[in-house]
Copies of this chain bind each other. A is one copy, B any other.
């Protein structure tokens, strides 16, 4: 442990010129070869099969020719410096990008061998299968019960009130929130603490029994205690769901994921087992990042 830290701090002790030099000599851009990802981007029998994905915001190319497989019941973490395209890529997986007018997606994206971007594809059904949790907790300004029940209701998942009650209870239980809120299901969700809200959002997402849960920096607005609870939850969920999590905390990635993907300026630089990425990254950009030379 001390070894790494000394590396970092020794770095900090370098004279300024040398530090600056390093970036200038080797501009990050030049090192990446487009479409080439080191590590293990592919999987057999994947849940998602993504090939040559490119995403444009207007003219700007935010995702540059990325190919990746995401396996069943795996927890994959996306890491990378700010603005590298993690969120953009994640949002392709359930077509949340559709609502951004200027956003165009190219390439082949398949969920269980069906094209996600097929124009005939029903987005509503897709999103029911691929749930999402956002960076900032965003509960509806309704009661706790109604928040969780909303998805099952619009998808007709419950025939009776009691069915619905069951779904709500089990979702809240899975999200580890049941004991805290079971006495005030009618209270407004906006009165909860940030961590509770985020867990509520997770409960809401899993209430429609999705196959995949996408999480975009789910803990970045939470304090350490709340973060711990959410991470705990992710670990539990990983048994039955495929989870894709974007995080800016390498430690978090290390704690929760099986595989980690490192993004850099729109490229997918490296994907590998989490242990592998953090112990012996193959690509030098990955190494620079996880050793803290930037980010």
Asked whether A292 lies within 8 Å of B5 as measured between CB atoms, the reply is no
Closest-by-CB residue of B relative to A75 is: B12
A251 contacts chain B at the CB level, 8 A cutoff? yes
A8 CB contacts on chain B under 8 angstroms: 250-251, 254-255, 278
Asked whether A295 lies within 8 Å of B255 as measured between CB atoms, the reply is no
Stretch at the interface among A33-41, A45-53, A140-148, A218-226: A218-226
Stretch at the interface among A13-21, A177-185, A207-215: A13-21
How long is the Cα–Cα vector from A4 to B1 in the complex, in angstroms? 4
Please classify the interface of chain A as helix (H, G, I), strand (E, B), loop, or mixed, using the class held by over half of its residues.
Answer: helix
Tally A residues with Cβ within 8 Å of B. 60
What per-residue 1/0 map shows which CB atoms of A20-31 lie under 8 Å from chain B?
A: 100100011100
Asked whether B4 lies within 8 Å of A294 as measured between CB atoms, the reply is no
What per-residue 1/0 map shows which CB atoms of A281-295 lie under 8 Å from chain B?
A: 000000001111111
Closest-by-CB residue of B relative to A231 is: B19
A232 CB contacts on chain B under 8 angstroms: 16, 19-20, 23
Q: A5-B4, A23-B225, A228-B23 are in contact. Are A293 and B81 (CB under 8 A)?
A: no
Q: Could you give 28 example pairs across A and B, Cβ below 8 Å?
A: A1-B3, A2-B279, A4-B5, A5-B290, A8-B254, A8-B278, A9-B278, A11-B254, A12-B254, A12-B255, A13-B275, A16-B236, A19-B232, A20-B228, A20-B235, A23-B232, A29-B225, A81-B224, A82-B220, A82-B223, A83-B194, A224-B264, A228-B294, A248-B248, A249-B292, A251-B294, A252-B292, A252-B295
Q: Which of A44-75 touch B at CB < 8 Å?
A: none
Contacting residue for A12 out of B2, B265, B275, CB 8 A: B275
Nearest CB on B from A235, distance (A):
4
A116 CB contacts on chain B under 8 angstroms: none
A251 CB contacts on chain B under 8 angstroms: 8, 291-295
A225 CB contacts on chain B under 8 angstroms: 23, 27-29
A157 contacts chain B at the CB level, 8 A cutoff? no
Contacting residue for A224 out of B20, B28, B223, B235, CB 8 A: B28
